Amino acid sequence: MEQAKLNAFSQQHFDQEPIMVRAAGRINLIGEHTDYNNGFVLPAAIDKAIYLAIVKRNDNKIVLHALDVNDRYEGTLDNLVRSPKQWPDYLLGVVQQLQQAGHILGGFECAFCGNVPLGAGLSSSAAVECATIYALNELFGLGIGRKDMTLLAQAAENHFVGVRCGIMDQFASMFGKKQQLIKLDCASLDYEYIPFNFDDVSLVLLDTQVKHSLASSEYNTRREECEAGVALIKKHHPHVNSLRDANMDMLDAYVKGHNATVYDRCRYVVEEIQRLQDACADLQRNDLEAFGKKVFATHEGLDKLYNVSCPELNWLAEFAAGQQGVLGARMMGGGFGGCTINIVRKSAVPALLEKAAAGYEQAFKTPLKAYVTSIEDGCRTVNNLVNN
């Protein structure tokens, strides 16, 4: 549907064949709030995506069309400022990063739409950034590799949009591969694909439909708390540059007695980095029950130690834990709203969806949305959108 919409718009508005790009949203199985601590993450690109069509212009204008909100932005390449509309910033930030890296761009016009639900923690913003950089790279023949595009897309979010996110979301959107999880070392950006076996289970996203306003301020606070923990340890162990280099003995010796909150935050991260390694070993043995237990433990840590959950997410995670056939469930992404991810035996999916929707609506007077998701390829060009 999104593709057809973009195709129809392109035919009407562009006098040349556009380059068309698909950039996916993401899930993350385990390894939350570890990316900016130089740890590991285990994300994947999904079946929900942003579609973007782009053509060159003969002047230095940037013209953007956001089809889903029926809005238009017009500016020039030499005057990139944040827009009060907000949505253009994800594209303009990418243009600014490309210019700062020395790439020469001409004017362009692009349109985009998508089915990544906004504010659901599925990284619609990273998908827009990745679609933009991928499309500009193709359009102007910039020759930038995927890793550098990923870093520039993240920098757009950090420096133009103003969110200090880690690398996970952009990496997943750029490097996603069908049926494969990406085990990413966020320190080196080395990665490997790990197949996820869908024979017996589905991945179900339960969307709280809430996004509490604390989300971005608390995200930055968590980063600062982790940095504070590293600074305390570093006085005694100068080689420790991030929580990736720390262990529980160090936290017990140098952080625990100093600041209980910072200790809890750091403890969660150190445990989560190890938990991810153990969970990957479970996957290698195809032991999804053991994997799922670690997913539950991650939720516990995010709620009790890292303090980024909320009543709606806790309700969903606890509810899922009590249902037959649910192997693991937890909040996903930055927190304070968005989705839980649930690993569910296929036979148990219909009952889970039905009971969760009824219970959640009764508890919070808000409808629950649910998506049974699949793992798909990351950024790529698409030729005939109608048939893709």
User: How far apart are CB 11 and ligand GAF at their closest, in Å?
Assistant: 35
Q: Is 333 in the site for ligand GAF (CB under 6 A)?
A: yes
Q: Are 30 and 275 in contact (CB under 8 A)?
A: yes
Task: Pick one of 23, 54, 168, 243: the residue that binds ligand GAF (CB under 6 A).
Answer: 168
Task: Pick one of 129, 169, 225, 376: the residue that binds ligand GAF (CB under 6 A).
Answer: 169
Task: Pick one of 10, 20, 35, 109: the residue that binds ligand GAF (CB under 6 A).
Answer: 35
| Nearer CB in complex with ligand GAF: 129/376 | 129
**Residues forming beta bridges with residue 61, ordered by sequence position:** 76
What Å distances lie between residue 39 and 189, 226, 279, CA to CA?
10, 12, 14
User: How far apart are CB 256 and ligand GAF at their closest, in Å?
Assistant: 24
Q: Nearest to residue 335, comparing CAs of 23, 101, 28?
A: 28
CA atoms of 83 and 95, how far apart (whole Å): 14
Beta carbons within 8 Å of 102's beta carbon, 6+ residues apart? none
| Region of 89-97, 98-106, 160-168, 246-254 interacting with ligand GAF (CB under 6 A) | 160-168
CA atoms of 174 and 372, how far apart (whole Å): 22
CB neighbour burial string for 149-158, b if at least 16 within 10 angstroms, e if fewer: bbbbbbbbbe
Task: Pick one of 165, 283, 331, 348: the residue that binds ligand GAF (CB under 6 A).
Answer: 165
User: How far apart are CB 170 and ligand GAF at their closest, in Å?
Assistant: 8
Question: Residue count at the site for ligand GAF (CB under 6 A)?
Answer: 10
Task: Indicate which residue of 89, 169, 264, 303 is catalytic.
Answer: 169
| Region of 32-40, 69-77, 243-251, 276-284 interacting with ligand GAF (CB under 6 A) | 32-40
In the three-class reduction of DSSP (H, G, I as helix; E, B as strand; rest coil), residue 141 is classed as coil
Q: Is 93 in the site for ligand GAF (CB under 6 A)?
A: no
Q: Is 172 in the site for ligand GAF (CB under 6 A)?
A: no
Does the annotation count 169 as an active-site position?
yes
208: exposed, middle or buried (Cβ count in 10 Å: 0-12, 13-18, 19+): buried
Task: Pick one of 166, 229, 337, 378: the residue that binds ligand GAF (CB under 6 A).
Answer: 166
**Residues forming beta bridges with residue 341, ordered by sequence position:** 205, 330
Beta carbons within 8 Å of 356's beta carbon, 6+ residues apart? 206, 316, 319, 320, 323, 368, 370
| Region of 138-146, 166-174, 248-256, 312-320 interacting with ligand GAF (CB under 6 A) | 166-174
| Nearer CB in complex with ligand GAF: 138/148 | 148
Residues at the contact surface with ligand GAF, assessed by CB under 6 A: 32-33, 35-36, 165-166, 168-169, 333-334
Enzyme catalytic residues: 169
